Amino acid sequence: MRTLEHEVDLCVVAHSYRNGGRASDGHKTLRVLLGIEHPVETIGARLALERGGFEVCAEAESAQDAIAAAGRESPDVCLIDVDLAGGGIHAVEEIARRLPGTAIVVFTESERPSDFFDAIRAGASGYLLMDADPDRLPQALRAVVNGEAALPRHLVPLLIEEYRKLGGYRSLMTRRGAELTNREAEVLGLMAESLTTQEIAERLSIEPVTVRTHVSSILKKLQVSSRHDALKLLRH
């Protein structure tokens, strides 16, 4: 069994912009929303968090219920299952958009890199695995509320590599005199992974026609005529 002992401080990436840069009182009773698909995992998380001084203000069994409950309760932090009915990533994205002051942690059985990156892109500040020691869960959530990112150690190199790729994209844009939006940079990165238009749409939770619009804009800005030519530029 993994523990969160190192997952909390392994690569605790400070991002003090959350809540206007205000650190939370370590003794404050924090309110948490649980959006977890499996009842057994919900009970385990609730017991662990209540022992750790959290108040569970709501529980949800679907993405829509989680979004609605977050709107009603304005919790300090949401713990969202990536496999939540209706789409855990969708719930993360909507809650992050509607409640920018609420921290979001994905709680999952999935170690798939695609799920990890989808969660981070959607607005999650933590990604914790369900087989971790539940007694470490309160510590992890408090760290995230205080402006840190709780990530499993073995996934951190993937995040570093992603930032390196982003640096390469920015360098390319500078060389070509192009200025891509953040979304266009994401689409370009997924193009580099050889994903199809449909796969990119599913990864980013947008329509295929929107992906095609972004691709067209990318090609125009990079002054190339095809995806193949754009990807060739990335390799040089």
Residue 78 pLDDT level (bands cut at 50, 70, 90): very high
Kindly report whether the global pTM for this prediction surpasses the value 0.75.
Answer: no
Homologous superfamily (CATH) of 18-151 is Response regulator (3.40.50.2300)
Domain ranges for the chain: 18-151, 157-234
CATH fold of 157-234: Rossmann fold (3.40.50)
Q: Are 176 and 233 in contact (CB under 8 A)?
A: yes
Q: Residue 69: what pLDDT?
A: 97
Domains 18-151 and 157-234 share a fold: yes
- Of the pLDDT bands very low, low, confident and very high (cuts 50, 70, 90), residue 31 is very high
The 8-class DSSP code of residue 85 comes to B
Does position 25 have pLDDT exceeding 50, yes or no?
A: no
The alpha carbon of 120 is separated from its chain's Cα centroid by a whole number of angstroms, namely 2
Q: In the structure encoding, which two tokens stand for residue 163, read together?
A: 């930032």
Of 60-64, 80-84, 173-177, 200-204, the poorest mean pLDDT is in: 173-177
50-66 tens-digit pLDDT: 999 999 999 999 999 99
Rounded to 5 degrees, φ, ψ at 119 are: -65, -45
**Tokens of residue 85, six digits:** 């009915």
